């Protein structure tokens, strides 16, 4: 419950990580108590090392930004306004989930259009980044998955326009600023 409320408010990546590490720490406290009760405290160090490896493995598997996208879209389906500018600021790990939500059959048209505008902004940023030809050392699996997810995606009705007010997408009397939301906005 607390996680859902906080996901709805923002500041999620760090919070999701904190909750994951909190679970691991609670289990280790329980392990320590059990080891104390059965008088096997000498095994706590090995158990702690095993826990560290387990936490490190699950840390890379869970996609916090994908979770944020799913939570925000679910809230939008429930009647809360979709925070499109916040979605623009998420990492490339969020793009496959954004594409899946955009292409989801039965997605309400208003949400689909907002997601299309977000994706259009993100694709524009990816195209600009590709022009710089990054070095091979900067290869990132999240970026590769994002590029693969958006391949062949038709967003022609969501053209990014640049002007004196920066980059934005106009769609059906709506305008989405392509710059991510700052924490003080």
Domain end point (choices 30, 61, 92): 61
Percent pLDDT > 70 in the chain is: 80
In a domain, 159, yes or no: yes
Domain end point (choices 45, 61, 77): 61
The answer to whether residues 49 and 133 belong to one domain is no
Q: What is the mean pLDDT of residues 95-121?
A: 90
The answer to whether residues 77 and 110 belong to one domain is yes
| Total number of domains in the chain | 2
In a domain, 185, yes or no: no
In a domain, 41, yes or no: yes
Residue 105 has a pLDDT of 92
pLDDT digits (tens, 9 = 90+) for 135-164: 777 766 777 777 777 778 887 788 877 877
- Give residue 74's region: left, alpha or beta (phi > 0; psi -120 to 50): alpha
Q: How far apart are CA 119 and CA 84, in angstroms?
A: 10
pLDDT at 116 over 80: yes
Strand partners, 174: 171
pLDDT digits (tens, 9 = 90+) for 42-98: 877 777 788 778 777 776 677 788 889 999 999 999 999 888 888 888 888 888 999
Residue (of 12, 167, 147, 161) closest to 86 by Cα position: 12
* Residue 170, domain extent: 64-177
Residue 145 has a pLDDT of 77
* SS3 label, residue 176: strand
The answer to whether residues 164 and 93 belong to one domain is yes
The answer to whether residues 22 and 56 belong to one domain is yes
Instruction: For the full predicted model, state whether its pTM sits above 0.85.
Output: no
The answer to whether residues 70 and 81 belong to one domain is yes
The answer to whether residues 18 and 89 belong to one domain is no
Q: What is the mean pLDDT of residues 32-38?
A: 81
Domain end point (choices 17, 35, 61): 61
The answer to whether residues 87 and 68 belong to one domain is yes
Tokens 């996208």 map to which residue?
69
pLDDT at 7 over 70: no
pLDDT at 35 over 90: no
The answer to whether residues 41 and 122 belong to one domain is no
């Amino acid at each position: 419950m607390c996680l859902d409320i906080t996901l709805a408010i923002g500041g999620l990546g760090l919070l999701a990580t904190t909750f994951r590490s909190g679970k691991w720490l609670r289990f280790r406290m329980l392990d320590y108590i059990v080891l104390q009760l059965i008088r096997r405290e000498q095994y706590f160090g090995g158990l702690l090392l095993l826990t560290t490896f387990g936490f490190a493995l699950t840390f890379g598997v869970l996609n916090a930004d994908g979770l944020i996208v799913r939570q925000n879209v679910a809230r939008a389906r429930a009647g809360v306004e979709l925070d499109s500018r916040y979605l623009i600021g998420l990492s490339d790990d969020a793009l496959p989930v954004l594409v899946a939500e955009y292409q989801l059959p039965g997605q309400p048209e208003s949400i689909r259009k907002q997601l299309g505008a977000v994706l259009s902004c993100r694709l524009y940023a990816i195209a600009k980044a590709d022009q710089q030809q990054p070095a091979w050392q900067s290869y990132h699996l999240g970026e590769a998955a994002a590029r693969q997810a958006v391949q062949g995606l038709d967003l022609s009705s969501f053209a990014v326009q640049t002007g004196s007010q920066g980059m934005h997408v106009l769609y059906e009397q709506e305008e989405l600023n392509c710059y991510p939301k700052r924490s003080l906005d």
